[in-house]
Amino acid sequence: MSTWRARIDAIDQILLVLLNERSRSANEIGHIKKQHKLPIYVPEREKTVLGNVLKNNSGPLEDEAVRRLFERIIDETRSLERRKYQNLD
Amino acid sequence: MSTWRARIDAIDQILLVLLNERSRSANEIGHIKKQHKLPIYVPEREKTVLGNVLKNNSGPLEDEAVRRLFERIIDETRSLERRKYQNLD
């Protein structure tokens, strides 16, 4: 069991790096949106993002689980993007 | 902007692979727990998992965002582990 747990711990460290890296990219996008006075929330783009992961999901996570996970990821990313740029000009 | 979006899309594909790989490892643990009649839900282990990621978080995601993300990840993993093994003997 400890081998599998060590594997999960290692995966989690990579997940953490990638989630932060994803937020960094989203902040860059937020910055561009701000410069061009574009809205932070772009529902079509969020649908595309979800579609991209769902079409490549081969499990064992079910599509609904993947959808819930990425909805959370998108939501946290958008919140940060919004907080970071709402007061900048 | 399209460069950053392409970067997010690439990150998402890796996240998807890692999240499924994480579930696969959790299923192996679930299998071992079932064999030894151990409970699926181990709150101390979940605290350790959260602690491991929080102590290494260097942002830009805030600790509370990382906590919410990993609570969702742990929750989806546990649900799958539970569904997969609750009826096995």
If you search the block for the tokens 């946290």, which residue do you land on? A76
Burial class (CB in 10 A: 0-12, 13-18, 19+), B30: buried
**ipTM summary value:** 0.93
Contacts of A14 in chain B (CB under 8 A): 18
Domains delineated in chain A: 2-84 (1.20.59.10)
In tens, the pLDDT along B60-81 reads 999 999 999 999 999 999 888 8
Task: Report d(CA B17, CA A76) in Å as an integer.
Answer: 20
Q: How far is B74 from chain A (nearest CA, A)?
A: 10
Q: Is the pTM of this model over 0.80?
A: yes
End-to-end CA distance of chain A: 52
Side chain identity, residue B63: D
Nearest to A25 among B4, B24, B58 (CB): B4
* Residues B43, B56 contacting (CB under 8 angstroms): no
Mean pLDDT by 10 residues, chain A (89 residues): 96 98 94 91 94 97 97 93 68
Phi and psi, residue B14, nearest 5°: -70, -40
